[in-house]
Structure 1
Amino acid sequence: MAAHTEPGSAGTPVTFNENGDAPGRYDIFQYQINNMSTAEYKVIGHWTSQLHLNMEALQWVTDDYILPASVCSLPCRTGERKKVVKGVSCCWHCERCEGYHFQASEFTCELCSYEMRPNQNRTGCQPIPIIKLEWYSPWALVPVFISVLGIITTTFVIVTFVRYNDTPIVRASGREMSYVLLTGIFLCYIVTFPMIAAPDVAVCSLRRIFLGLGMCFSYAALLTKTNRIHRIFEQGKKAVTAPRFISPASQLIITSALISVQLLGVLVWFAADPPHTFVDYGEQRTQDPGNARGVLKCDISDLSLICSLGYSILLMVTCTVYAIKTRSVPETFNEAKPIGFTMYTTCIIWLAFIPIFFGTAQSEERMYIQTATLTISLSLSASVSLGMLYMPKVYIIIFHPEQNVPKRKHSFKAIVTAATMTTKLSQLAAERPNGEVKTELCEGVEPSGKSLENH
């Protein structure tokens, strides 16, 4: 039956629907806080045939008149996935794609590949920036500054020695071994530059060659010197004849043999694993993908570094042992005491290097700290050798040429006798309470026998 309208007793129309029911008439109330801070119901609209609302009479928590959205969950923002509430398809929680994940679809986040990171709005992935140690970085400027000073100083010493090559003080220091040692010192300073330069195949090759070569040159020469002194005085306890292989040519051959071991090891390294570069994405893979960086490196692992420097450190330790054994020889003989002080100081430098270098293996600044530590340690050890062994000689050559005169040559027997007597006198002095010792050693007697030039 169709809707029917009849006038009522009040003259207003009365409407019935097809079911014979009158249409509903409703007042709409909202529970509000009035000005007296009490709660009450207030009419905000009515319903007859349609809804009529007084928008200005509405009150919401936000103090505005905008109707809240009549939905269970609002749409998620970019970079967020929907986690649907179980059993209610129109309700969900929005979860942001965290870490190295990006929004793959409306409902899923996926992990970027290892060399990638999410873009800013996490809708996809982008390559991780690749970095290297830059020349303008403070981690590079300090080692380079020290190295440049060392190169200038070493060059000055070499030029001075070449210019005054035939003077007594240069001859007495053993010219051949001095030039080998100065070459090693120079190489220790030079290695700073390939260690900081941008890695490529050529730079990586130079790093492998020069990383331990400078130390090997230096400590092979020093070891040969200290071993020569030790053998001379050990032989002197048995006979008055000089030991074998103490001539300059023999010393060069022994030093070259020691250096060739380092070069042979480098050649084997080249053959077994040709140099190349790679990008290390793990070293600076931070919790925040925005700070993640890939580090361009040469393929020199910590183990390879230890092997490359290990032989030179072995030479250094052996040289230190011989320096201790020859500490009581006469002061005028073959720089024994300056070599000893050099080796003690160098050992302290490298003992400090080990915990700093390997203790920062997990640091985000690992590349910078380790490179700076290694290059500065090499430069400092070279500076110690240069300062203690050669700067006093250069000072005398330039500022006190009157002291650059030949000294009386001592025979092998006289030198050994002096060293033996010095040792005995020291022992007797320790045994006597008053420390008084008498000796019949006559310094005015001219020694006889075969003389030693380089002492």
Structure 2
Amino acid sequence: MYSYNYEQGNNLTLSDVQPWELNKYLRKVRFTNSAGDEVFFDEHGDLTSGFDIINWIVFPDETLVGTRVGRINTQTSAEEQFILHEKTIQWGSGFTTTPRSVCSESCLPGYRKSSRTGQLSCCFDCIPCPEGEFSNQTDMSTCLKCPATQWPNSNRDDCIDKEIIYLSYEDPLGTSLALISVLFFLLTTLVMGIFIKYQNTPIVKANNRDLSYILLLSLKMCFLCNLIFIGHPLQVTCILRQTVFGVTFSISVSSILAKTVTVIIAFNVTRPGSKFRGWMGSIVSNSIVLFCSLIQVLICAVWLGSSPPFPYNNMEDEIGKILLTCNEGSLIGFYCVLGYMGFLAFISFIVAFLARNLPDSFNEAKFITFSMLVFCSVWVSFIPAYMSSKGRYTVAVEIFAILASSAGLLGCIFIPKCYIILLRPERNTRAYLTQKK
């Protein structure tokens, strides 16, 4: 664009022309070209007439023939400004198809265009969409993200629903854990039936049979509470699974603590002038169970009242999957439940360890010591395994810890007694239990 310096009059030179002054004179230009079209410029200096699109054909004798194949109209609507009759276009003999105006093939869905450095925009590379993104049209310059509940398919050209995962009863892992829990529940029921049938024998009466019944009932509940952990997480199951587990295990461990205290009292009461004679009976042992269990109930109540567990759709741990889990709400509350249970187990272990060598022919403290050692080992191993696992395996780890620790209590404390009751009845006599070794 050029303009001129009007202060010098009409004698114009090229150096006098300035861009912002040419508009004034272009608006006055109007003429008819050789095709009979009137050519003129508007107030902005833009050409108002249209242009014909000519297809020039060069013949072997170097003659030219121009054919009108379209037109650009600046005065019409946007849809009609560009008209091209593709069928009337003739290409030279060297072309068998219409030449392409790009140097790269189109990018298919699932890919995006990436410009080549230092080359024209028509030259590009096709890059696969990154993980979590897709493209559903050709030659897209950017890939799109799927909604939160969806994930790109294998071709990354569409979104599909994410796979929903949780520990279900149809899952082989869930089926196995549920079956093992039921089998241990039935085994505990069998042991309890044996103790009830032989309740008047010396070995059942030796260490407070009421505590044995309480312990067996709580172990049955511990095995059954595993079933709450399996299945689709719901608000009610998320609340029940940890609280039922925490309370029933506290009853179990406090029963063991009461059993150990009973052993110590029973030994000391035989001494002349012992002050422990008034402590014999079920009142002391039942009070220990009740008091220790109520503390756990209080901890669970505070936890549920402040920040209870709730169902949670975890979309971060595994790519392309939704892990249905229970968010524990307050982790402090959850670890307080575990911590208190561990505290009871530790106290029971220490007391039983100190009483393991008391001179009784059937000293239950030895078995309690070993059972608490197994119990503590399982739950110390549980914490790092629980923290490092993800998804349904987190639930499976906790179920395994419940099974292992409950089975340890059942096996260490009750199986030796059942062995004597069923297979060595000659040892299940008062004379045998009271003899000095």
Alignment counterpart, residue 114 of structure 2, candidates 67, 79, 83: 83
Distance 1:133 1:127 in 2: 19
Distance 2:178 2:352 in 1: 31
Structure 1 residues 266-323: Cα deviation after superposition (integer angstroms, max 9, x where no partner): 22222223443121111212xxxxxx11011122266554333221111111111111
Residues 222 and 203 of structure 1: CA distance in aligned 2, closer, same or farther (over 3 Å): same
311-320 vs 113-122, which deviates more? Answer: 113-122
Q: Given the alignment of the two structures, is residue 367 of structure 1 paired with residue 391 of structure 2, yes or no?
A: yes
Q: CA deviation at 1:210?
A: 1.9
CA contact (8 A) 1:183 1:217 kept: no
Identity of aligned residues (%): 29
CA contact (8 A) 1:97 1:109 kept: yes
Alignment of 1:17-416 (within 5 A): 23-24=61-62, 52=93, 71-85=102-116, 88-103=120-135, 106-230=140-264, 240-242=274-276, 244-285=278-319, 292-300=320-328, 304-332=333-361, 334-358=363-387, 360-361=388-389, 366-407=390-431
Please tell me the residue identity of whatever aligns with 1:309: L
SS state at 2:276 partner: coil
Q: CA deviation at 1:68?
A: 8.3
SS state at 1:242 partner: helix
Where relative contact order (Cα < 8 A, 6+ residues apart) is larger, the structure is 1
CA contact (8 A) 1:82 1:92 kept: yes
CA contact (8 A) 2:164 2:321 kept: yes
Q: TM-score, normalised by structure 1?
A: 0.67
Structure 1 residues 147-174: Cα deviation after superposition (integer angstroms, max 9, x where no partner): 2221111001111222222232221131
Residues 238 and 126 of structure 1: CA distance in aligned 2, closer, same or farther (over 3 Å): farther
Structure 1 residues 170-195: Cα deviation after superposition (integer angstroms, max 9, x where no partner): 21131111111112211221122111
Please tell me the residue identity of whatever aligns with 1:80: Y
CA contact (8 A) 2:229 2:395 kept: yes
Structure 1 gap segments, 5+ residues each = 1-21, 26-48, 56-64, 286-291, 419-442, 444-455
337-346 vs 253-262, which deviates more? Answer: 337-346
SS state at 1:345 partner: helix
Q: CA deviation at 1:134?
A: 2.2
Q: CA deviation at 1:222?
A: 0.9
229-238 vs 134-143, which deviates more? Answer: 229-238
Please tell me the residue identity of whatever aligns with 2:229: M
Distance 1:244 1:117 in 2: 70
Q: CA deviation at 1:402?
A: 4.2
SS state at 2:189 partner: helix
Q: CA deviation at 1:84?
A: 4.1
Structure 1 residues 43-75: Cα deviation after superposition (integer angstroms, max 9, x where no partner): xxxxxx99556x9xxxxxxxxx99985632222
CA contact (8 A) 1:129 1:294 kept: yes
Q: CA deviation at 1:111?
A: 2.9
Distance 1:129 1:234 in 2: 63
SS state at 2:217 partner: helix
SS state at 1:74 partner: coil
Distance 2:385 2:310 in 1: 26
Q: CA deviation at 1:237?
A: 8.6
Distance 2:277 2:99 in 1: 103
312-321 vs 68-77, which deviates more? Answer: 68-77
Alignment of 1:404-443 (within 5 A): 404-407=428-431
CA contact (8 A) 2:299 2:333 kept: no
Q: Which residue of 2 aligns with 1:422?
A: none
Structure 1 residues 334-353: Cα deviation after superposition (integer angstroms, max 9, x where no partner): 51211112222222333333
Distance 2:219 2:425 in 1: 25
134-143 vs 170-179, which deviates more? Answer: 134-143
Distance 2:391 2:126 in 1: 39
Structure 1 residues 375-398: Cα deviation after superposition (integer angstroms, max 9, x where no partner): 222222222222222122223333
Distance 2:268 2:201 in 1: 30
Q: CA deviation at 1:126?
A: 3.9
Q: Which residue of 2 aligns with 1:40?
A: none
Q: CA deviation at 1:124?
A: 4.9
SS state at 2:349 partner: helix
Distance 1:84 1:403 in 2: 89
Please tell me the residue identity of whatever aligns with 1:297: T
298-307 vs 127-136, which deviates more? Answer: 298-307
Matched residue count: 348
CA contact (8 A) 2:269 2:275 kept: yes
Distance 1:409 1:226 in 2: 18
CA contact (8 A) 2:323 2:392 kept: no
Distance 2:418 2:156 in 1: 66
Structure 2 gap segments, 5+ residues each = 1-59, 64-89
CA contact (8 A) 1:350 1:377 kept: yes
Q: Which residue of 2 aligns with 1:434?
A: none
SS state at 2:340 partner: helix
Residues 101 and 52 of structure 1: CA distance in aligned 2, closer, same or farther (over 3 Å): closer
